[in-house]
């Protein structure tokens, strides 16, 4: 379960929280008593990601993000 911290508290103690996250701890950051985001260790939330396309199957070294964005924008423009 994530510990709740305030946004101001995070800003004033960012190094402390980075260290805690590196140790596996999670935090829910609130502003005006409302959750605004979560800080979790990188491997904790892997289940939320789904591989849609693995470009290394088509291009040995993957595809540069710049090229991918260009192609996505082109497809988006055609669909409108």
Q: What is the pLDDT of residues 33-78, one digit of tens each?
A: 999 999 998 876 566 667 777 777 888 887 888 988 888 888 888 8
Lowest-pLDDT range of 16-20, 28-32, 48-52, 59-63 = 48-52
Closest of 4, 64, 80, 73 to residue 35, by C-alpha: 4
At 44 the pLDDT is 60
* Mean pLDDT, residues 4-16: 96
The pairing of beta strand 27-31 with beta strand 34-39: antiparallel
Q: Do residues 26 and 40 touch, judged by C-beta distance below 8 A?
A: yes
Q: How many Å apart are CA 64 and CA 80, to the nearest integer? A: 25
CATH of domain 3-42: 3.40.1620.10
**Sequence spans of domains, the chain:** 3-42, 50-79
- The phi and psi torsions of 37 (rounded to 5 degrees) equal -165, 170
């Amino acid at each position: 379960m994530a510990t709740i911290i305030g946004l101001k508290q995070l800003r004033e103690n960012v190094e402390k929280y980075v260290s805690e996250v590196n140790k596996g701890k999670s935090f829910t950051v609130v502003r005006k008593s409302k959750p605004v985001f979560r800080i979790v260790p990188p491997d904790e939330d892997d289940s939320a990601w789904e591989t849609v396309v693995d470009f290394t199957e088509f291009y040995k070294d993957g595809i540069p993000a710049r090229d991918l964005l260009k192609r996505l924008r082109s497809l988006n423009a055609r669909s409108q």
